[in-house]
A and B are shown apart, each in its own frame.
Chain A
Amino acid sequence: MAVAAAPSSSRAGRRLVGRVARSEGATGWLFASPAAILIAIFGLLPIAWSLLLSFQKADLLTPDTPWVGTANYRQMANDPLFAGAIQHTIVYTSLFVPGTIVVGFLIAVALNRKIRGISIYRTAAYVTMAVSSISAAIVFLWLFDPVYGVVNYGLSLLHLPQQPFMSDPSQALFVIVLMTVWGWTGFAVVIYLAALQGIPQDVLDAAAIDGASRFTVLRTIVVPLLSPATLFLVVWLTINALQLFDEVYLSTRGGPLYSTSVVVYYLWDQAFRQFNAGYAAAMAYALFLVIALVTAIQFWLGEKFVHYSS
């Protein structure tokens, strides 16, 4: 504090400074310690413990956790169920992320105009943000019910064959893609609308005068200028996609026979159903590494292709 430090040439002044600094340190710890203790117990300690567990055999029940070295990590390489979970996660992510981005982009473009009632349309797009993953999954299960579902009814109206959806392992993942795309649409729309409003109108006018059609303006001006928003969405949606769990649990329990299990579902199953906590911890760390790596790669690619203004 400037005031306290003013008479610092005198000994008393220096003492005052010392006292202020000490009391500030004490206040700082006083303020931070409740949070620090909780973060230490429920944040830091688990991070370290999890790493330890990943080198142990643990079943969550007995206190005895023998050291197994890298066995858990080696097991991942030889576990066909884990390989399947990875495969499903990759399929899911590579459909969900582009799907949400394309849907969000198109809706945002349609919503980016000043016409009567536009706020009603926007509200409808945003409301999906308030729906929890479990609520959304339950509704989609009902919409895609193989017997009574509205979607099958819609297909019948179009004279298309009825689909088993959730009861068919090869279709269940796609229904999950649809329900999560729906759930994240509002988010993608807000991000894109905010970015669209940041594009100066006169730049779009200039392109129109230069002879570009509306579609060409979209392709050559709007899409590149939205690339920071797109990068943000790609990173964020990927992180969330890699952690998919709720919808899988609710709709298929990963089944039948793990045919729809994704990494986090398998991990949870191993930890809390099969009581292979050490193995699950190793998978969690692997997942963490993958997320970090994917994020880093996306940012690196972003540096090369994303246009940041100014």
Chain B
Amino acid sequence: MTVHTVVTVPDDVVSGTSTSNPVPDARRSRAPSPWHLVLIPITFVLLVPLLWMLITSLETPDEAAQFPPTLVPHDIRWANYPDALNAAPFGQFFLNSAIVAVVVVLSNVVLCSLAGYAFARLQFPGKSLLFASLMVTLMVPFQVTMIPEFLIVKWLGIHVASGVGIDHLGALIVPNLVTAFGIFFLRQFFRTIPVELEEAARIDGTSRIGVLFKIVLPLSLPALSTLAALTFLDSWNNFLWPLIVIDSQSNMTLPLGLTFFQSAHATQWTLLMAGNVMSLLPMLVIFFAAQRYFVRSVAATGLKG
């Protein structure tokens, strides 16, 4: 991550369900807009990959391996899903992905809040130096740090605890417990909260930690959920780091597991697509449950899977 531009996206742009319906234009509402003729093909092309994934995941292997392709499956084969779960431990991949993502999200929310608040509001010796180092780590691409990170994780596994070492889930969690981006993001947000609110509480005798938890964090729910959503997205879709540190199937996360399955069963497209659909579901659920939110978060930070 090198650039952080905050793009503000108007409500109207992100709304999946338009709340502010303008009075429809009388003249135009009689005949549908000709723009539908442009938009329908565009939408179709954009959705083809997802549709095709879904269709293939419901076809029989014979239908999938035909040319010309079977565009509409004759009988829908739900069995591809349990078959996929049997052919590869997709359930295990799913669980691993979930464990890693949940722990990383929770720890980021807590640790980035604490540090972000310290950088936003507190004076402490060494603060500016610390903040400068934060900015440096923000600007350096992951490729620079991944080799030493691998060595550090390896060392930790040998000398501290095997659970955080190479080929353990801990290796996926510990280096990502906190991100410079999260600290920076929350610091920027905390600085927009009027300091008078905090001062009033301080005068009433509330401690710093009390101010943070009772005043600042409740006011920061939008920023915290943005951070949570993006951290989840990042963790769920991360590929390169798991590829480097995980070897055994039982510890693979979904993207790695899918890749593993793909190279092992290259021709079983129906099962692969079923696995792919399953791995996509959590992100799609989040997307549709909170589209407004999701879209705005991605636009504001430039992070995506």
* Chains A and B touch (C-beta atoms under 8 A apart): yes
A residues near B (Cβ < 8 Å) are 1-3, 21, 24-29, 31-32, 34-36, 38-47, 49-50, 53, 60, 107, 110-111, 113-136, 138-143, 145, 147-150, 152-153, 156, 182-187, 190-191, 193-194, 197, 229, 232, 235-236, 239, 243, 245-246, 249-250, 264, 267-268, 271-272, 277, 280-281, 284-285, 287-288, 291-292, 295
Contact indicator B52/A268 (Cβ below 8 Å): no
- Among residues of B, the one whose C-beta sits closest to the C-beta of A264 is B143
Looking at chain A's contact residues, is the secondary structure mostly helix, strand, loop, or mixed? helix
- Among residues of A, the one whose C-beta sits closest to the C-beta of B125 is A25
Contact indicator B262/A250 (Cβ below 8 Å): yes
Q: How far is the CB of B60 from chain A (nearest CB, A)?
A: 13
Contact indicator A123/B143 (Cβ below 8 Å): no
Q: How far is the CB of A55 from chain B (nearest CB, A)?
A: 13
- Among residues of A, the one whose C-beta sits closest to the C-beta of B262 is A138
Contact indicator A60/B123 (Cβ below 8 Å): no
What mask results when residues 244 to 255 of chain B are scored 1 for a CB within 8 Å of chain A, else 0? 100000000001
With A138-B262, A287-B141 in contact, do A121 and B42 touch (Cβ < 8 Å)? yes
Q: Is there a chain A Cβ closer than 8 Å to B280's Cβ?
A: yes
- Among residues of A, the one whose C-beta sits closest to the C-beta of B285 is A130
Contact indicator A39/B134 (Cβ below 8 Å): yes
Contact indicator A148/B65 (Cβ below 8 Å): yes
Contact indicator B145/A47 (Cβ below 8 Å): yes
Residues of A contacting B71 in the complex (Cβ-Cβ under 8 angstroms): 150
Residues of A contacting B143 in the complex (Cβ-Cβ under 8 angstroms): 243, 264, 267, 284, 287-288
Residues of B contacting A142 in the complex (Cβ-Cβ under 8 angstroms): 52-53, 56, 269, 272-273
With A44-B136, A47-B145, A50-B144 in contact, do A197 and B13 touch (Cβ < 8 Å)? yes
Q: Which of A25, A123, A141, A280 contacts B123 (CB 8 A)?
A: A25
Contact indicator A128/B302 (Cβ below 8 Å): no
Contact indicator B287/A127 (Cβ below 8 Å): yes
Q: Is there a chain A Cβ closer than 8 Å to B299's Cβ?
A: yes
CA distance in complex: A226, B51 (Å): 32
Q: Is there a chain A Cβ closer than 8 Å to B22's Cβ?
A: yes
CA distance in complex: A126, B233 (Å): 15
- Among residues of B, the one whose C-beta sits closest to the C-beta of A288 is B144
CA distance in complex: A127, B298 (Å): 12
- Among residues of B, the one whose C-beta sits closest to the C-beta of A48 is B148
A-facing residues in B276-297 (Cβ within 8 Å):
276, 279-280, 283-284, 286-287, 291, 294-295
Contact indicator B295/A31 (Cβ below 8 Å): no
Q: How far is the CB of A51 from chain B (nearest CB, A)?
A: 8
- Among residues of A, the one whose C-beta sits closest to the C-beta of B12 is A197
Which residue, B2, B16, B68, B202, has most C-beta atoms of chain A within 10 A? Answer: B2
Interface residues on B, range: 35 or more
CA distance in complex: A280, B35 (Å): 51
Contact indicator B42/A107 (Cβ below 8 Å): yes
Contact indicator B49/A182 (Cβ below 8 Å): yes
Contact indicator B118/A28 (Cβ below 8 Å): yes
Contact indicator B299/A194 (Cβ below 8 Å): yes
Residues of A contacting B240 in the complex (Cβ-Cβ under 8 angstroms): 245-246, 268
Q: Is there a chain A Cβ closer than 8 Å to B114's Cβ?
A: yes
Contact indicator A50/B114 (Cβ below 8 Å): no
CA distance in complex: A66, B248 (Å): 32
Contact indicator A38/B122 (Cβ below 8 Å): no
Q: Which of B13, B237, B276 contacts A190 (CB 8 A)?
A: B13
Residues of A contacting B47 in the complex (Cβ-Cβ under 8 angstroms): 124, 127
Contact indicator B123/A139 (Cβ below 8 Å): no
CA distance in complex: A28, B294 (Å): 32
Residues of B contacting A29 in the complex (Cβ-Cβ under 8 angstroms): 118, 124-125
Q: Which of A121, A150, A186, A292 contacts B43 (CB 8 A)?
A: A121
CA distance in complex: A35, B150 (Å): 20
Which residue, B32, B52, B239, has most C-beta atoms of chain A within 10 A? Answer: B239
What mask results when residues 3 to 30 of chain B are scored 1 for a CB within 8 Å of chain A, else 0? 1010111101111111000101000110
Q: How far is the CB of B159 from chain A (nearest CB, A)?
A: 13
Contact indicator A43/B35 (Cβ below 8 Å): no
Residues of B contacting A123 in the complex (Cβ-Cβ under 8 angstroms): 16, 291
Q: How far is the CB of B202 from chain A (nearest CB, A)?
A: 6
What mask results when residues 32 to 52 of chain B are scored 1 for a CB within 8 Å of chain A, else 0? 110110110011001111101
- Among residues of B, the one whose C-beta sits closest to the C-beta of A196 is B13
With A123-B291, A191-B7 in contact, do A46 and B112 touch (Cβ < 8 Å)? no
With A194-B8, A245-B240, A295-B3 in contact, do A31 and B114 touch (Cβ < 8 Å)? yes
- Among residues of B, the one whose C-beta sits closest to the C-beta of A243 is B141
What mask results when residues 221 to 261 of chain B are scored 1 for a CB within 8 Å of chain A, else 0? 00000000000010011011001100000000001001100
Contact indicator B123/A24 (Cβ below 8 Å): yes
Residues of B contacting A236 in the complex (Cβ-Cβ under 8 angstroms): 3, 5, 302
Contact indicator A38/B136 (Cβ below 8 Å): no
CA distance in complex: A284, B142 (Å): 9
Residues of A contacting B144 in the complex (Cβ-Cβ under 8 angstroms): 46-47, 50, 281, 284-285, 287-288
- Among residues of B, the one whose C-beta sits closest to the C-beta of A251 is B262
CA distance in complex: A235, B183 (Å): 23
List 21 A-B residue pairs with CB atoms under 8 Å apart, sorted by A's residue number: A38-B178, A43-B133, A60-B151, A107-B42, A110-B35, A110-B38, A116-B32, A127-B50, A132-B239, A133-B305, A134-B237, A141-B262, A142-B56, A142-B272, A148-B64, A148-B65, A150-B71, A186-B298, A187-B299, A232-B5, A284-B147
A-facing residues in B49-95 (Cβ within 8 Å):
49-50, 52-53, 56, 64-69, 71
Q: Is there a chain A Cβ closer than 8 Å to B214's Cβ?
A: no
- Among residues of B, the one whose C-beta sits closest to the C-beta of A51 is B144
